[in-house]
Amino acid sequence: MSLFIHKTGVQALIQDRGRVGYRHLGIPASGPMDSYSFELAQLLCGNSGQEALIEFTLHGAIIEFEKATVIALTGGGATATINNKSILYNIAHVVKAGDTLKLSPSEFGCRTYLAIQGGLKVNAELGSCATYVPAQIGGIEGRALKAGDRIEFADEINNHRTAENILIQIKNPALELNEIPIRIHKGPEWGWFDNAAQSQLIKEKWRIGPQSNRMGYQLQGSPLLLKEKTELISTAVMPGIIQVTPSGMPIILGADAQTIGGYPRIARVHTPDLSIVGQCRPGVFLQFQLFDE
C-alpha cells in the first residue's frame, strides 16, 4: 500500500498542481517546475491531475514499491531502471510488490516526475499537497523527502488498469540540447534599460549558474546596465519574471519564487516555455527571443 524511499538523489519533493489563492499572503503556488511533464504523468496513470506525485531533481533516487500499481515517469534529468532493467519515460508501467526503481545520470534535462495510479496519500495544507520548503508547508512536514520515508498510496485500487503500450512524447529542447531558445515578453521595467542592454539580453547566451533552484535561475553573462540608477518599490512578481539584480545579472523566477520583489522586471518568460526552463539544468545556455503575442 506504499512506496519506500531508499535514496532521494539530489532532491525529491511531493508536488501537485499547486497552492492557488494565497499569493496576497506571501505564499507562492509552488507545484511542478515542468507542468507539461507533470500533467502527462498523471494522464498516463489515468489520474485526474489533482493527485500528488514526486518531482525528482536529476538522479540518484532509489524507490521500492511495496504493492503492485501502475506508474509513469516523465520529464528528464535521469535514466530509469526497474530491478536493473531499463524502462522508458512517457509510458505507463505495471510494477509489482518489491520492485525497485532507480534513477541514474543522463545527459539532458533536470526533473523527473513519478506518478502513481490514484496518487499519494498526503495531507493538504491551504488546499494543496505541494511542498514549499521555505515555509515548511505541504508534502511531508514541509520538507524534501529523505531516505526512510514511506508514503502510502492514496487509493486502494484492487484492479489496476493494464499499462497501455502508448508512448507519448512532449517536445522539449531542454531534453536534447545544451543551448536552449526561450521566448520572452517585455517586462514592466523594460524601458529602464537602454537599447544596448535590451539588445544584449536577446543576443547574449546566458549560462544557468550553479546556485539555481526552484526559487530562481541565476544567469551568468555580461551585466545589464540601467539607463540611470533607479530604485523599485517592492512589487508583484510571479514565476517566469526575469529580474535584474544590482550586479546586472538576470534571475528567472521559478515555481517557489517570492511573491514580491524590488529588482527591475526587464522581461518575463512566455508561459508555454516555463516547462522548458524547468528542465534546464545548471550549465545549460539560454538564448532569449523577444516574442510578440
Same-domain check for residues 73 and 187: no
Question: Among the three residues 151, 170, 189, which one is the final residue of a domain in this structure?
Answer: 170
- Specify the pLDDT at position 233: 85
Grid cell 512524447 is found at: 169
Closest by CA position to 74, among listed 128, 116, 113: 113
- Specify the pLDDT at position 162: 52
Same-domain check for residues 121 and 182: no
Q: Is the pLDDT of residue 112 over 90?
A: yes
Looking at residue 132, the DSSP 8-state letter turns out to be B
Same-domain check for residues 205 and 218: yes
Question: Among the three residues 170, 195, 219, which one is the final residue of a domain in this structure?
Answer: 170
Q: Which residues of 266-275 are buried (b: 16+ CB within 10 A; e: fewer)?
A: bbbbbeebbb
Same-domain check for residues 180 and 165: no
CA gap 53, 111 in Å, rounded: 13
Question: Among the three residues 104, 139, 170, which one is the final residue of a domain in this structure?
Answer: 170
User: What average pLDDT does this structure show over 84-99?
Assistant: 96
Q: Is the pLDDT of residue 165 over 70?
A: no
DSSP-derived pairing of the beta strands 216-220 and 150-152: unpaired
pLDDT band at 158 (very low <50, low <70, confident <90, very high): very low
User: What average pLDDT does this structure show over 54-73?
Assistant: 97
Same-domain check for residues 22 and 83: yes
Domain range spanning residue 132? 2-170
Grid cell 508534502 is found at: 139
Kindly report the number of other CB atoms within 10 A of residue 250's CB atom: 24
pTM over 0.85: yes
User: Looking at the 3D structure of the chain, how many domains does it have?
Assistant: 2
Which DSSP helix (H) or strand (E) runs through 42? helix 35-44
